[in-house]
């Protein structure tokens, strides 16, 4: 498994079923970068506790609300119009690139925040994913299992 969060995220997202599961969880209010970070922390054997979960959520929220979500909303808004307008289609692709770059930066921030956390801890559990998925994940347990299975199958 990749040692940096960005490479891990790319490899995980490319696995069968992961994109669909992530989009399903995102629609329910979960943050995909946070979920991928949780999977990464589980793989590293980093112990999950409420203080760490809150620290990551506090780091993600402003960047997601002020940068990622507005980019995503505009890209989504242009989807239908871009089918008939080649200039708008190109702008939409550029918007998608900006959104991905914003997510890459968020993943880098998450990795930096966790660098000092020990890995391979005997007390580590696999509760990161459930804790970071939030309230919206309860009806989406299957999607969480798809994510976890994708990582354990590697």
Task: Assess contact for 132 and 38: CB atoms under 8 A.
Answer: yes
What does the block give as tokens for 101? 């770059």
* Domain parsing of the chain, residue ranges: 5-152
Place of tokens 């590697």: 154
pLDDT in tens, the chain (154 residues): 458 999 999 999 999 999 999 999 998 889 999 999 999 999 998 999 999 999 999 999 999 999 999 999 999 999 999 999 999 999 999 999 999 999 999 999 999 999 999 888 766 667 888 888 875 556 678 888 899 888 887 6
Task: Assess contact for 24 and 30: CB atoms under 8 A.
Answer: no
């Amino acid at each position: 498994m990749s040692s940096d969060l960005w490479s891990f995220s790319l490899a995980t997202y490319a696995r069968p079923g992961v994109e669909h599961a992530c989009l399903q969880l995102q629609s329910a209010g979960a943050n995909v970068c946070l979920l991928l970070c949780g999977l990464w922390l589980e793989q590293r054997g980093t112990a999950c506790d409420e203080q760490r979960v809150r620290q990551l959520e506090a780091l993600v929220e402003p960047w997601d609300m002020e940068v990622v979500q507005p980019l995503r909303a505009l890209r989504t808004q242009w989807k239908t119009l871009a089918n008939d307008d080649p200039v708008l289609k190109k702008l939409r692709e550029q918007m998608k690139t900006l959104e991905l770059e914003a997510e890459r930066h968020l993943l880098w921030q998450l990795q930096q925040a966790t660098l000092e956390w020990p890995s391979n801890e005997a007390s580590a559990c696999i509760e990161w994913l459930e804790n970071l998925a939030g309230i919206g994940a309860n009806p989406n347990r299957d999607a969480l299992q798809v994510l976890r299975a994708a990582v354990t199958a590697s």
